[in-house]
């Protein structure tokens, strides 16, 4: 489990908690349960958490799948700099947000889930992870003819002298795939 | 050809998905209507509204889908638990892929129904609490106050105290269904978030280890449904109190008012699974209880859907004697009879208490619960042309059933009965405790005479414990037709039978038959009978052969 990035799972968990908080809050406010102001708070907190957690951070290794339409929120979250980049801050923030919702039964599930997310973020922070925004890749230069026309090389490729033209011994094979390759067997 | 089989498989998948969806819809609608319309839950609905039906209907769908979710991954479940799947990785994975889609579909359904269920129960708890706190004399507050102080279990509102500590959250965490509900929901949420495609593909171990929480999910789910917090009106109470009429005027409940015949309503748990009690534990309505001499109690019972074979036994429980004890008794009635009976001898404190309870003849017959029948049926007894049945002491009980059954089959010329002659040996110390069996033999004797088949059953009674006075009596009454001890036509013999004589007599009388020897008694007797069987069986296959059967009873 050495390569795991806990922040990714914490992110999923926190997003789910946000949704649960909102749902619980809506039910309590709509049916006017006792103590519904807590539920109103839970709705606000849930929405905030969802917005904060929606943009997925960039993985250290490999490419990250973006969530649909997350680039707008990424721009906003990026603005806050170290506050949103550091996971300690997120852990404490989520823990603090979770507490008031624990006073009402409808939102207590949201509290528990957000609490778990906060714990996982703490673990991520301890292991030195950080939130980095997913940047858009720079646009490639549009090629003439759609890239099918290639100019022939002007110079021959440099060749080493004949006696050094030996096969190197088989080393550690190849490269690490930048994009994870999965075999789709069918 | 391959395209054809692919499309056939695809259409089968569609069919299965449609069937699954249809079942879900049916279950939800059926149970929703049940809880929304049934008179049993009239008062529950006064407190909870339609949230009761939403909660219960979604619970049924949750049960259904939870059962189903393990099925697609069943074959891989063992290897999952073991942690590795070394062999057949590729073929396993192909199969797995197909099943996984269904597994995910069922998981989404579980998530959806969980959400519905939780929201409905949130409303339930809140409204139970509101009714409890209200002091405005409304129907809800009256219902909530019913039966709260008594020891009896007849209350409707599970929230009992009126203090401020009692909030829905408090009730949730201090009751079994509430606490288990929270735990399994958390387990479910963790399982779902760690199985998101992104996490699964990138960090498989998180998904793998977290998914083992399913064990907690299933354990908690089983416990969750057990305590019946949501209750309905008991059937007894429905007879005395019809909610549709009586709900209008709660002030007159239980009063001496002759206009309205409304007793106070009483409530009980409705078990989570079925609409009623489990059939094997259902109350057994009686026909008769007969007390025989020497403290033997015969219970004749009748239960719907009960079917037995000869030689089987049932477990009996009598809550008024002891709530927890279940005792086995061999059935003494024949399958052909329309009731089933057991004969219970006083042999310990439970049986003595039971017999006392019945002897006192209270106005209300004590309730009995029955579980069974168990035991391997012994059909072999009917397969032999000649049968030698040996019952020693209490071991005579299954033979009551056998003899009666054989007699019924014989009378109705049942084709399954191959028996033409029965030799029955009854060994006991004294007939005191078996007077009832005595009577059975007497009645069989009489019936045989009436139908002119006196030769069918040949029985011998051996009293293994005797003294001089008994022998004196026997000698004195030697010329009488009936036996002085038993009153039967056959004379009682004293001491133990000499098996060699018996076997040679049977062998001589039936030189070409196959004789089945059945014993219900002590091991020593089994050994000597087995020896005799070997000794008197002829080597010639056309001649007499004795087969010994002991294990059936």
Q: Is B9 helix (H, G, I), strand (E, B) or coil?
A: helix
Q: Which residue out of A4, A28, A66, A105 would a mutagenesis test of the B interface target, given it has the greatest number of B Cβ atoms within 10 Å?
A: A105
Q: Which residues of A touch B5 (CB under 8 A)?
A: none
The minimum CA-CA distance between B271 and chain A, rounded to whole Å, is 25
Whether the full predicted model's pTM is greater than 0.80, yes or no, is no
Measured CA to CA in angstroms, residue B168 lies from A25, A139, B226, B499 at distances of 15, 57, 20, 77
Q: How far is CA B61 from the centre of its chain?
A: 26
- Measured between CB atoms, which of A8, A180, A185 is closest to B199? A8
In terms of CA atoms, which chain B residue is nearest residue A61? B202
Distance CA B32, CA A166 (A): 79
Q: Which chain B residues contact residue A185 at CB under 8 A?
A: 90, 93-94
Q: Which of B93, B122, B206 sits opposite A105 (nearest CB)?
A: B122
DSSP string, B130-165: HHHH--S--HHHHHHHTTSSSSSS--S-S----STT
State the Cα–Cα distance between residues B74 and B72, nearest whole angstrom.
6
Q: Across-strand partners of B33? A: none
Q: Chain A residue closest to B185 (CA)?
A: A109
> What chain A residue is nearest to B199 in terms of C-alpha separation?
A9
- DSSP 8-state secondary structure symbol assigned to residue A158: P
Pull the structure tokens for residue B360: 């006192």
CB B140 within 8 A of CB B134: yes
Residue B131 C-alpha, separation from nearest chain A C-alpha, in angstroms: 13
Specify which residues B519 forms β-bridges with: B390
The residue to which tokens 């009402």 are assigned: A104
The two structure tokens encoding residue B282: 């259902």
Which two structure tokens, joined as six digits, stand for B155?
A: 């209350």
Residue A113 with chain B: CB contacts under 8 Å: 186, 189
Residues in chain A closer than 8 A to B199 (CB atoms): 8-9, 12
* Structural element, H or E, at residue B424: strand B421-428
Q: DSSP character for B338? A: S
**How many H helices and E strands in chain A?**
6, 0
Task: Please enumerate in sequence order all residues whose Cβ is within 8 A of that of A71, keeping only pairs 6 or more positions apart, or say none.
Answer: A55, A134, A136
**Residues making up chain A, counted from first to last:** 186
> Is there a contact between A109 and B185 if contact means CB atoms under 8 Å apart?
yes
Place of tokens 């957690």: A53
- Residue A3 with chain B: CB contacts under 8 Å: 203
- For the purposes of burial, counting CB atoms within 10 Å of the CB of B139, is it exposed (0-12), middle (13-18) or buried (19 or more)? middle
Q: Which of B9, B93, B122, B181 has the highest number of chain A CBs within 10 A, making it the mutation to test binding with A?
A: B122
Q: Which residues of chain B have a CB within 8 Å of the CB of A20? A: 189
Residue B495: alpha-carbon gap to chain centroid: 42
Q: Find, in chain A, the residue whose alpha carbon is nearest to that of B51.
A: A31
The Cα-based distances of A179 to A5, A34, A65, B204, B484 in angstroms read 17, 52, 11, 16, 101
CA A20 vs. chain centroid, Å, equals 20
Question: Tens place of pLDDT for every residue, chain B, 553 residues?
Answer: 556 666 776 777 788 889 999 999 999 999 999 888 887 788 778 778 888 889 889 998 998 999 888 877 776 665 555 544 444 454 455 555 667 788 888 999 999 999 999 999 988 888 888 877 776 767 777 777 776 665 566 677 777 655 556 677 877 888 888 899 999 999 999 999 998 888 888 878 888 889 989 999 999 988 887 766 677 777 777 777 777 777 777 666 665 555 556 677 777 766 544 333 333 445 666 668 888 777 788 888 887 777 888 878 888 888 788 776 778 788 888 888 888 888 888 877 888 888 888 887 766 777 788 877 776 656 677 788 888 888 887 778 888 888 888 778 777 877 777 888 888 888 887 767 677 788 888 888 888 778 777 778 888 888 877 767 767 776 777 666 666 566 666 667 777 888 888 888 888 888 888 888 888 888 888 888 888 888 888 877 778 888 887 655 4
Contact (Cβ atoms closer than 8 angstroms) between residue A104 and residue A39: yes
| DSSP calls for A10-78 | HHHHHHHHHHHHHHHHHHHHHTT-TTHHHHHHHHHHHHHHHHHHSSPPPPSSS--PPPTTTHHHHHHHH
């Amino acid at each position: 489990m050495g390569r795991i990035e806990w922040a990714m799972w914490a992110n999923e968990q926190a997003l789910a908690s946000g949704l649960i908080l909102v749902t619980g809050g809506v039910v309590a406010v709509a049916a006017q349960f006792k103590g519904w102001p807590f539920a109103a708070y839970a709705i606000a907190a849930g929405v905030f958490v969802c917005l904060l957690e929606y943009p997925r951070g960039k993985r250290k290794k490999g490419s990250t799948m973006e969530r649909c339409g997350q680039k707008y929120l990424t721009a906003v979250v990026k603005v806050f700099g170290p506050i949103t980049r550091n996971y300690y801050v997120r852990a404490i923030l989520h823990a603090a947000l979770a507490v008031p919702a624990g006073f009402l039964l409808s939102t207590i599930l949201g509290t528990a889930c957000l609490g778990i997310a906060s714990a996982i973020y703490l673990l991520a922070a301890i292991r030195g992870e950080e939130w980095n925004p997913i940047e858009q890749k720079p646009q490639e230069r549009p090629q003439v003819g759609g890239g099918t026309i290639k100019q022939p090389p002007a110079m021959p490729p440099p060749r080493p002298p004949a006696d050094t033209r030996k096969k190197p011994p088989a080393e550690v094979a190849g490269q690490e795939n930048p994009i994870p390759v999965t075999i789709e067997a069918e | 050809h391959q395209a054809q089989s692919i499309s056939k498989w695809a259409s089968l998948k569609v069919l299965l998905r449609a069937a699954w969806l249809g079942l879900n819809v049916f279950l939800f609608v059926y149970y929703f209507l049940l809880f929304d319309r049934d008179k049993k839950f009239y008062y529950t609905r006064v407190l909870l509204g339609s949230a009761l039906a939403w909660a219960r209907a979604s619970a049924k769908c949750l049960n259904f889908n939870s059962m189903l979710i393990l099925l697609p991954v069943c074959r891989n479940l063992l290897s999952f638990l073991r942690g590795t799947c070394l062999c057949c990785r590729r073929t396993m994975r192909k199969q797995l892929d197909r099943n996984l889609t269904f597994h995910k579909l069922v998981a989404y359904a579980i998530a959806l129904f969980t959400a519905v269920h939780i929201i409905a129960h949130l409303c339930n708890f809140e409204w139970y609490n509101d009714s409890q706190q209200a002091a405005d004399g409304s129907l809800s507050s009256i219902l909530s106050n019913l039966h709260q102080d008594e020891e009896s279990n007849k209350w409707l509102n599970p929230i009992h105290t009126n203090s401020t500590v009692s909030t829905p959250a408090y009730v949730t965490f201090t009751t079994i269904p509430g606490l288990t509900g929270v735990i399994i929901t958390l387990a479910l949420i963790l399982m779902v978030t760690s199985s998101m495609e992104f996490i699964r593909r990138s960090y498989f171990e998180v998904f793998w280890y977290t998914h083992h929480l399913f064990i907690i999910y299933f354990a908690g789910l089983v416990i969750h449904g057990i305590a019946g917090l949501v209750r309905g009106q008991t059937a007894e109470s429905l007879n005395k109190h019809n909610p549709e009429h009586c709900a209008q005027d709660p002030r007159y409940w239980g009063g001496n008012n002759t206009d309205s015949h409304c007793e106070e309503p009483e409530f009980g748990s409705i078990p989570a699974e079925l609409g009623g009690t489990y059939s094997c534990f259902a109350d057994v309505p009686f026909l008769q209880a007969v007390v025989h001499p020497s403290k033997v109690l015969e219970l004749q019972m009748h239960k719907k859907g009960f079917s037995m074979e000869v030689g089987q036994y049932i477990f009996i429980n009598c809550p008024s004697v002891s709530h927890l004890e279940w005792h086995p008794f061999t059935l003494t009635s024949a399958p052909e009879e329309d009731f089933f009976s057991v004969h219970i001898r006083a042999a310990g404190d439970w049986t003595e208490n039971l017999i006392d309870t019945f002897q006192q003849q209270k106005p209300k017959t004590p309730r009995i619960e029955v579980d069974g029948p168990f035991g391997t049926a012994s059909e072999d007894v009917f397969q032999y042309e000649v049968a030698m049945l040996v019952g020693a002491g209490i071991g005579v009980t299954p033979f009551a059933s056998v003899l009666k059954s054989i007699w019924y089959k014989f009378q109705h010329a049942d084709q399954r009965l191959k028996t033409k002659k029965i030799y029955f040996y009854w060994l006991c110390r004294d007939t005191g405790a078996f007077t009832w069996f005595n009577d059975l033999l007497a009645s069989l004797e009489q019936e045989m005479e009436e139908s002119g088949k006196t030769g069918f059953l040949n029985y011998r009674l051996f009293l293994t414990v005797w003294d001089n006075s008994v022998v004196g009596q026997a000698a004195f009454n030697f010329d009488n037709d009936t036996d002085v001890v038993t009153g039967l036509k056959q004379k009682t013999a004293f001491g133990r039978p000499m098996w060699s004589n018996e076997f040679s007599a049977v062998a001589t009388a039936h030189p070409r038959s196959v004789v089945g020897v059945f014993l219900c008694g002590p091991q020593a007797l089994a050994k000597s009978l087995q020896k005799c069987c070997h000794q008197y069986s002829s080597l010639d296959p056309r001649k007499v052969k004795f087969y010994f059967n002991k294990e059936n009873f």
